[in-house]
């Protein structure tokens, strides 16, 4: 909805959720390159050529042959040296000792070593000071001031509709008795977003102005966006302990990359003609930057801010696991007691905050003229009205949200949940209950898949990854993927990672089947698309944490609820990208297929799917990345594997376990991303 | 390029600004939400199990209604809570089940945490089977016979072995080591949280299925699902010492421990009435269970449960007020 109106960017990919965002936003510029398609076209077999040469002429087959040759030499060597079961013990490095000692050293030296006193201490102190200042201002404004101020701000920036949404949202936060936690999350968010935007803009500026920096930064930023948020928590906890400061830092690390990417892209996309014209007028480089390149990149910059906000919100909530307090903490407390009602009461304000922030910033970046009132006096008026509301509330002695104006939804929601559990949980005639589904999913799909992956010889897994990554990517992506997978083995996390991998694969399969099934009608009928769009919008803005709540009620505890949450989280992005891809298919091609008498199924199979191949691959890639991020969080609801180890590491203060698991998650994310990442047009992307 | 020099200069300046002006002790930085807008705030660490929530609920209620403090509760797991307590990010832990390592580091060596006295409740961790199962098979109560019953205790998550149900990853547990060292044909399955564990136990009990679980006293669930403890090799000091040196060698039962309170050292000095109140906080197993049951069974909010208990037992809490 928000960016659907922007003419230049395909609506489906412009605004996608968290990790989808960056790659999707760069989509038109860099990703769905045309080079993937020709690679697949079988060249006409030349007369007289042997079958081998014909095979050799196909790039895919050529890659496989090279790989097979390499495997034929290396595998027997490796297998005789280290066996061919699970990852050989001889090739692992045990980091538990050194990491444990590092952790102890940090705790023992945190109050007197210079690096903590003069460096980390200041960072932490500045963050805490900033959050405290913002929080104090929010408290001083009181609920009336904040609500009125936010409403007017939204009105000025985004128009009446968003303003009404904003007012209603803040009112609901108060009604649910969540005013104070909401303000805490908001305070943390404001600081984190400001820091992310500054850091991201600086990085993006550097990359936008220098080709070399751009080339060095891009793979790093690409990778950071593919990593699950959970993996970012461990290192900051190691240094800063539990609390608000590490939460803000983790959020900044997570939210700055999209800002950096979009800034760089915006700067690099400046029209060459315009630049030359300005240069010929004798503008200095700085003038060129300030008067031409930055203003022209305004849309990308604001989209970057929007992305940074959405990612920061989703991270700020996850960071409650390391003591971020606020709404996330309420959800976390409720989750650990399986109190679905309370979790929902804390989850709704998160969703509302997300929607309000998203709509407001998206409208700001829309490029159209201002939606709301304009004029010189508007800003002073907004400020004055806010102050008036704050003072009025203070005079009426109602700075805190009035206690009688709250509505407890926990009890009715829990009743509803109990009813649902009683009636849907098991023994529904015909289809079985959700508990049975969960048991079947675990027993029939997850367990065999996990056992299969764990039973795969280690070199077999490496080979498989190499083949997959090379077939759809370049030798470079294949090498990264193989090295990342090998690193998991070296870290001694092979078996657990295979467990996580099995959960990811199964959930991705479900997501893709459902996603394609929804996307096909959406691509064909504008009406379905219109109905679907607001639903997708809402689902895309929700932080990952929120998805854990309902699935626990329905599927109990274990790997099944984690998978269900992952599917729901990844589905909107897949539907969007796929339906967009299908819709973009050249009408001429469709028309000629139809005139040849192809049925609609045939059209789909032979025309639409092949032509939309780049988008379909992108959808798979996004599904993998998004599913992984939720499967990891599933450690909080009994998902086990790597996610559990991170939770365990945090819970027991056993940072060695947590850090190693975090590193394994990073490697797994890297592998999965590279294996599913369609070839990127390096040069074309750079020029865009 | 000029712009790059600007960026470098700005970065250097920022670095200087953050580092150049004296020391900043991270361990003395409290939560940014504390004491906002002129209120006196106490931050309590609340752990996920219901007993601990009961403690926190009653302490919070009394601090807010009798002593005019604002109380924040933050959910932090046990070990990180010690770290947060030493840094003053929380002011008190009200129920600690024994963390000798942390006690030595923070209370004895660094002196950033001060003992806050006993909670008044003694806790015991063990392995339990439901009473209906123990009545039918009395010999299951000796660990030596557990392997005989492994096949009956199998589940989807435990694979071919018997299932030993554990709760939250944050709890004090040596179960994996015990299963290994005692040669048991069992797999430890973590439910992920205590609530999940309770749900699972209740489902088992509803169908009268056998199960073996890590569990502890005092716990309100015993009133609903009677359970009997399985005898493990007796707890000895030698075994405890061995376990302290290397947790993977533990091969005896869990001790019975006196649950203790701990306060941040600065807070004990400057915390005024709140600190004295928390030191005086002392109640019995029955009191705790009463509140816990209201929260967990009757689904009252923690505040309502605390309010009801406070109304019923003024004789107990009046003594805590400074």
Half-sphere exposure of A553 (CA within 13 A, CB side): 23
pLDDT at A646 over 60: yes
Query: Within 10 Å of residue B49's Cβ, how many Cβ atoms?
Result: 25
Residue-level pLDDT at A52: 66
Residue A477: per-residue pLDDT: 80
Q: Give the pLDDT band (50/70/90) at residue A47.
A: very low
Q: What is the CATH number of the domain that holds B43?
A: 3.40.190.10
pLDDT digits (tens, 9 = 90+) for A313-371: 888 778 887 877 788 888 887 777 767 788 888 888 888 888 888 888 877 766 554 55
To the question of pTM greater than 0.90 for the whole model, the response is no
* C-alpha torsion sign, points A479, A480, A481, A486: positive
Rounded Cα–Cα distance for residues A607 and A45 (Å): 23
Supply the pLDDT for residue B214.
92
Which residues 77-96 of chain A have a CB within 8 Å of chain B? none
Q: Are residue B309 and residue B234 in the same domain, yes or no?
A: no
* Cβ neighbourhood burial of A375 (10 Å; 0-12, 13-18, 19+): exposed
**Domain boundary residue, one of B240, B256, B272:** B256
Residue B7 lies in a domain: no
Q: Is the pLDDT of residue A568 over 60?
A: yes
Question: A410 with A343: CB under 8 angstroms?
Answer: no
Which residues pair with residue B130 across a beta bridge? B227
Domain membership of residue B8 (yes or no) is no
How many Cα atoms within 13 Å fall on the side-chain side of residue A649?
Answer: 27
Residues of A in contact with B33 (CB under 8 A): 131-132, 135, 184, 244, 325
| Three-class secondary structure of residue B227 per DSSP | strand
Q: Which pLDDT score is estimated for A374?
A: 64
Q: How far is the C-alpha of A466 from the C-alpha of A478, rounded, in Å? A: 5
**Minimum-distance CB partner of A336 among B32, B87, B195:** B195
The residue that leads in pLDDT, A681 or B113, is B113
The answer to whether residue B6 sits within a structural domain is no
B297 Cβ contact list (under 8 Å, min separation 6)? B220, B224
How far off is chain A from B139, nearest CA to CA, in Å? 31
Query: For the segment A432-442, what is each residue's pLDDT rounded down to a tens digit?
Result: 677 777 777 87
pLDDT interval class at A431 (50, 70, 90): low
Q: What is d(CA A314, CA A331) in angstroms, rounded to the nearest whole number?
A: 13
Q: Give the dihedral sign, CA B39/B43/B44/B47.
A: positive
Contacts of A125 in chain B (CB under 8 A): 24, 26, 29
Residues B209 and B101 in one domain: no
Within-domain flag for B3: no
pLDDT of residue B213: 93
The phi and psi torsions of A513 (rounded to 5 degrees) equal: -60, -50
Q: Where does the pLDDT of residue B230 fall: very low under 50, low under 70, confident under 90, or very high at 90 and above?
A: very high
Chain A neighbours among B 100-139 (CB < 8 Å)? 105, 110, 112
B50 shares a domain with B128: no
Over residues A375-391, the mean pLDDT reads 74
Q: Do A338 and B23 touch (CB under 8 A)?
A: no
| Predicted local distance difference test score (pLDDT) of residue A590 | 77
CB contact set of B42 (below 8 Å; sequence gap of 6+) = B63, B69, B70, B71, B72, B91, B92, B271, B274, B278
Nearest CA in chain B to A643: B192
- Asked if B24 and A139 come within 8 Å (Cβ–Cβ), the reply is no
A346 half-sphere exposure, CB direction, 13 A CA radius: 26
Closest chain B residue to A647, measured at CA: B169
- Residue A41 class from Cβ within 10 Å (0-12 exposed, 13-18 middle, 19+ buried)? exposed
Which runs of consecutive H residues, i.e. helices, occur in A58-159?
Answer: 59-82, 96-109, 114-115, 121-158
Among chain A residues, the shortest Cα distance to B159 is held by A447
| Chains A & B: contacts with CB separation below 8 Å | 199
The token duo for A397 is 């002695």
The neighbouring-strand residues paired with B43 are B72
User: A298-318 and A340-364 helices cross at what angle (nearest 10)?
Assistant: 170
Those residues whose C-beta lies under 8 Å from the C-beta of residue B250, and which sit 6 or more positions away, are: B174, B177, B178, B181, B239, B242, B243
Over pLDDT 90: what percentage of chain A? 2
The whole-number average pLDDT for the span A569-577 is 87
- Between strands B113-130 and B227-230, the pairing is antiparallel
- Mean local confidence (pLDDT), A126-152: 84
- The three-point CA angle B267-B271-B273 to 5° equals 145
Which CATH class for the A413-688 domain? mainly alpha
A positions 331-360 inside 8 Å of B (CB): 332-333, 335-339
State residue A34's pLDDT score.
36
Quick: pLDDT tens for B177-205: 899 889 899 988 877 777 778 877 877 88
Q: What is the pLDDT of residues A488-500, one digit of tens each?
A: 888 888 888 888 8
State yes or no: pLDDT of A48 exceeds 60: no
SS3 B117: strand
Q: Which residue has the tokens 């309370």?
A: A342
Among the ranges given (A8-12, A107-111, A586-590, B204-208), the one the predictor scored with the smallest mean pLDDT:
A8-12
Distance separating alpha carbons of residues A446 and A507, to the nearest angstrom: 9
* One domain, residues B131 and B218: yes
Query: Helix H segments across A634-654?
Result: 641-652
Indicate the average pLDDT of chain B.
82
Specify the higher pLDDT residue, A317 or A40.
A317
CB of A393 within 8 Å of a chain B CB? The answer is no
CA distance B172 to B216: 11
Alpha carbon of B74: minimum distance to chain A alpha carbons (Å): 7
From chain A residues 433-492, the ones with a CB under 8 A of any chain B CB are: 439, 442-443, 447
Kindly state whether residue B311 falls inside one of the protein's structural domains: yes
Per DSSP, the three-state class of B258 is strand
Q: CA-CA distances (angstroms) from residue A405 to A11, A56, A177?
A: 40, 74, 8
Q: What is the mean pLDDT of chain A?
A: 76
Q: Determine, for residues A651 and B192 on separate chains, whether the beta-carbon distance falls below 8 Å.
A: no
* B21 assigned to some structural domain: no
Cβ pair B87:A241 closer than 8 A: yes
Spell out which residues of chain B touch residue A111, defining contact as CB-CB under 8 Å. Answer: 25-28, 110, 112
Give the pLDDT confidence score for residue B17 in this predicted structure. 56
E-state strands within B76-211:
92-96, 113-130, 162-166, 186-190
Residue reference for tokens 């997978």: A485
Chosen domain end from B209, B235, B256:
B256
Same domain, B118 and B262: yes
For A137, which residue in chain B has the nearest alpha carbon? B37
Asked if the C-beta of B7 comes within 8 angstroms of chain A's C-beta atoms, the answer is yes
- Residues A545-565 pLDDT 10s: 777 777 777 777 778 888 888
pLDDT in tens, B267-316: 888 888 888 888 888 888 888 888 988 887 777 778 888 999 999 988 88
The SS3 assignment for A624 reads helix
Helix ranges restricted to H, A269-376: 272-280, 285-287, 294-296, 298-318, 326-336, 340-364
* A536-546 pLDDT per residue, tens: 877 777 777 77
Chain A residues within an 8 Å CB radius of B23 = 117-118, 121
Q: Is the pLDDT of residue A30 over 50?
A: no
Per residue in B2-38, pLDDT (tens digit) is 556 666 666 666 655 554 556 666 666 666 776 555 5
3-state SS assignment for residue A590: helix
Interface contact B299-A132, CB threshold 8 A: no
Contacts of A526 (CB under 8 A, 6+ apart): none
List chain A residues with CB under 8 Å of B12: none
Find, among B190, B129, B187, B188, the residue nearest to B161 by Cα: B187
Strand B113-130 versus strand B212-217 pairing type = antiparallel
Coil vs helix vs strand at B65: helix
Q: Residue B29: what are its φ and ψ, rounded to 5°? A: -100, 115
Confidence band for A682, pLDDT divided at 50, 70 and 90: very low
Taking CA A171 as the corner, what is the angle to CA A168 and CA A172, rounded to the nearest 5 degrees?
85
Portion of chain B with pLDDT greater than 90, in percent: 10
Nearest CA in chain A to B193: A336
Q: In chain A, which residues have their Cβ closer than 8 Å to the Cβ of B29?
A: 121, 124-125, 128, 243, 245
Which tokens sit at A365?
């970046």
Chain A residue with the nearest C-alpha to that of B169? A648
Choice among A386-395, B133-142, B230-239 with the minimum mean pLDDT = A386-395
How far is it, in rounded angstroms, from Cα A354 to Cα B198? 34
> Alpha-carbon distance B157 to A359, whole Å?
44
Cis-peptide into A99, omega within 30 deg: no
Q: Which residue has the higher pLDDT, B225 or A81?
A: B225
**Interface list for B 228-257 with A (CB within 8 A):** none
Same domain, B133 and B205: yes
B167-226 residues touching A, CB cutoff 8 A: 168-170, 190-196, 199-200
Q: What domain range includes position B47? A: 34-122+258-320
Q: Residue B74: list chain A partners with CB under 8 A.
A: 323, 325, 329
Partners of A123 on chain B (C-beta within 8 Å) are: 18
Contact A117 B193 (CB under 8 A): no
B77 Cβ under 8 Å from any chain A Cβ = yes
Percent of chain A with pLDDT over 70: 83
Angle at A14 between CA A13 and CA A16, to 5 degrees: 65
Is A283 in the B-facing interface, judged by CB distances under 8 Å? Answer: no
Q: Is B242 within the bounds of a domain?
A: yes
Cβ distance of B4 and A107 shorter than 8 Å: no
User: What is the chain A residue with the closest CA to B191?
Assistant: A638
Rounded-to-integer distance, Cα A125 and Cα B26, Å:
7
DSSP code per residue over A524-585: H-HHHHHHHHHHHHHHHHS-GGGGHHHHHHHH-SSHHHHHHHHHHHHHHHHHHHHHHHHHHS
Whole-angstrom distance, CA of residue B149 vs CA of residue B153: 7
What is the structure's pLDDT at B227? Answer: 93
A403 interfaces chain B, CB cutoff of 8 Å:
no
- Min Cα distance B111 → chain A (Å) is 12
DSSP state, residue B87: T
| φ and ψ at residue B174, rounded to 5 degrees | -120, 20
Is A609 part of the contact surface with chain B (CB cutoff 8 Å)? Answer: no
Q: How many structural domains does chain B have?
A: 2
Residue A422's contacts (CB-CB under 8 Å, 6 or more residues apart) are: none
- Indicate the pairing of strand B92-96 with strand B162-166: unpaired
Distance (Å, whole) CA B93 – CA B58: 14
Whether the Cβ atoms of residue B43 and residue B72 lie closer than 8 Å to each other: yes
CA distance B131 to chain A (A): 25
Contacts of B31 in chain A (CB under 8 A): 128, 243-244, 325
Inform me whether the C-beta atom of residue B157 falls under 8 Å from chain A C-beta atoms: yes
CB distance A151 to A392 below 8 Å: no
- Best of A123, A446, A635, A652 to mutate (most B CBs within 10 Å, chain B): A652
- Please list, in sequence order, all residues whose beta carbon lies within 8 angstroms of the beta carbon of residue A106, skipping any fewer than 6 positions away: A238, A239
- Domain end marker among B256, B279, B300: B256
């Amino acid at each position: 909805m928000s960016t659907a109106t922007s003419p230049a960017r395909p609506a489906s990919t412009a605004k996608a959720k968290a990790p989808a965002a960056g790659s999707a936003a760069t989509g038109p510029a860099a990703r769905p390159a045309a080079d993937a398609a020709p690679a697949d076209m079988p060249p006409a077999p030349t007369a007289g050529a042997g079958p081998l040469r014909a095979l050799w002429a196909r790039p895919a087959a050529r890659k496989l042959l090279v790989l097979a040759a390499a495997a034929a030499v290396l595998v027997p060597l490796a297998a005789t040296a280290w066996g061919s079961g699970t990852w050989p013990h001889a090739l692992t490095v045990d980091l538990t000792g050194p990491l444990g000692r590092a952790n102890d050293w940090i705790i023992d030296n945190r109050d007197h070593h210079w690096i903590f006193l003069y460096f980390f201490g200041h960072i932490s102190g500045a963050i805490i000071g900033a959050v405290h200042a913002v929080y104090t201002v929010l408290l001083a404004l009181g609920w009336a001031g904040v609500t009125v101020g936010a409403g007017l701000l939204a009105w000025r920036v985004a128009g009446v509709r968003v303003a009404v949404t904003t007012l209603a949202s803040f009112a609901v936060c108060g009604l649910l008795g969540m005013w104070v936690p909401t303000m805490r999350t908001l305070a943390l968010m404001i600081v984190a977003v400001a820091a992310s935007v500054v850091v991201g803009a600086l990085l993006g500026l550097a990359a936008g102005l220098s080709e070399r920096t751009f080339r060095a930064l891009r793979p790093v930023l690409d990778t950071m966006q593919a990593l699950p948020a959970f993996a970012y928590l461990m290192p900051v906890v190691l240094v800063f302990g539990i609390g608000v400061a590490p939460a803000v830092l983790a959020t900044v690390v997570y939210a700055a990359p999209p800002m950096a990417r979009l800034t760089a892209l915006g700067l690099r996309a400046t029209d060459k003609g315009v630049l030359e014209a300005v240069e010929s007028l004798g503008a200095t480089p700085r003038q060129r930057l300030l008067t031409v390149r930055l203003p022209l990149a305004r849309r990308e910059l604001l989209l970057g801010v929007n992305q940074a906000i959405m990612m920061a919100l989703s991270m700020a909530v996850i960071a409650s696991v390391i003591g971020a307090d606020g709404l996330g903490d309420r959800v976390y407390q409720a989750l650990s007691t399986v109190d679905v009602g309370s979790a929902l009461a804390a989850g709704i304000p998160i969703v509302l905050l997300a929607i309000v922030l998203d709509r407001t910033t998206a409208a700001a970046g829309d490029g159209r003229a201002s939606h709301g009132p304009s004029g010189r006096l508007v800003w002073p008026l907004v400020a004055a009205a806010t102050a008036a509301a704050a003072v009025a509330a203070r005079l009426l002695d109602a700075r805190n949200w009035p206690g009688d104006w709250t509505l407890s939804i926990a009890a009715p929601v829990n009743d509803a949940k109990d009813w649902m559990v009683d009636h849907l949980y098991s023994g529904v005639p015909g289809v079985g209950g959700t508990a049975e589904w969960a048991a079947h999913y675990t027993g029939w799909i997850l367990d065999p898949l996990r056992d299969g992956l764990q039973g795969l010889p280690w070199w077999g897994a490496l080979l498989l990854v190499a083949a997959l990554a090379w077939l759809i990517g370049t030798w470079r992506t294949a090498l990264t993927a193989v090295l990342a997978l090998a690193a998991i083995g070296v870290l001694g996390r092979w078996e657990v990672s295979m467990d996580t991998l099995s959960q990811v694969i199964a959930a991705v399969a479900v997501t893709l089947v459902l996603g394609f099934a929804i996307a096909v009608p959406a691509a064909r009928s504008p009406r379905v698309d219109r109905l679907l769009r607001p639903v997708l919008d809402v689902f895309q803005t929700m932080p990952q944490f929120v998805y854990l709540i309902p699935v626990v009620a329905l599927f109990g505890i274990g790997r099944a609820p984690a998978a269900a949450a992952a599917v729901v989280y990844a589905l909107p992005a897949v539907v969007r990208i796929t339906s967009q891809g299908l819709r973009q298919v050249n009408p001429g091609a469709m028309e000629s297929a139809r005139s040849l008498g192809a049925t609609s199924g045939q059209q789909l199979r032979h025309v639409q799917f092949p032509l939309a191949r780049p988008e379909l691959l992108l959808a798979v890639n996004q599904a993998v990345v998004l599913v992984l991020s939720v499967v990891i969080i599933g450690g909080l609801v009994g998902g086990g594997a790597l996610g559990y180890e991170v939770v365990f590491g945090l819970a027991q203060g056993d940072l060695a376990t947590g850090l190693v698991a975090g590193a394994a998650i990073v490697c797994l994310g890297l592998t999965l991303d590279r294996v599913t990442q369609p070839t990127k047009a390096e040069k074309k992307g750079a020029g865009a | 390029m000029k712009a790059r020099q600007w960026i470098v200069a700005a970065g250097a300046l920022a670095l200087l600004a953050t580092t150049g002006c004296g020391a900043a002790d991270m361990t003395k930085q409290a939560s940014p939400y504390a004491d906002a807008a002129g209120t006196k705030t106490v931050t309590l660490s609340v752990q996920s199990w219901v007993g601990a929530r009961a403690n926190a609920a009653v302490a919070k209620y009394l601090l807010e209604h009798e002593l005019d403090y604002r109380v924040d509760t933050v959910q932090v797991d046990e070990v990180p809570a010690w770290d947060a307590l030493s840094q003053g990010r929380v002011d008190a832990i009200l129920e600690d089940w024994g963390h000798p390592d942390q006690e030595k580091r923070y209370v004895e060596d660094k002196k950033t945490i001060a003992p806050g006295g006993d909670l008044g409740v003694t806790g015991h961790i063990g392995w339990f089977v439901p009473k209906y199962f123990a009545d039918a098979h009395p010999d299951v109560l000796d660990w030596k016979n557990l392997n005989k019953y492994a096949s009956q205790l199998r589940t989807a998550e435990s694979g071919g072995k018997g299932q030993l149900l554990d709760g939250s990853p944050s709890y004090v547990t040596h179960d994996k080591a015990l299963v290994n060292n005692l040669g048991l044909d069992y797999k430890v399955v973590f439910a992920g949280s205590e609530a999940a564990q309770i749900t699972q136990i209740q489902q088992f009990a509803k169908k009268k299925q056998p199960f073996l679980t890590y569990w502890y006293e005092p716990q309100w669930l015993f009133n609903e699902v009677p359970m009997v403890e399985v005898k493990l090799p007796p707890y000895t000091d030698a075994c405890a010492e061995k376990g302290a040196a290397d947790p993977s060698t533990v091969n005896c039962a869990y001790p019975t421990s006196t649950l203790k309170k701990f306060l941040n050292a600065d807070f004990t000095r400057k915390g005024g009435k709140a600190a004295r109140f928390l030191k005086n906080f002392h109640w019995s197993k029955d009191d705790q269970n009463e509140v816990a049951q209201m929260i967990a069974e009757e689904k009252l909010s923690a505040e309502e449960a605390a309010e009801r208990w406070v109304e019923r037992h003024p004789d107990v809490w009046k003594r805590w007020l400074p």
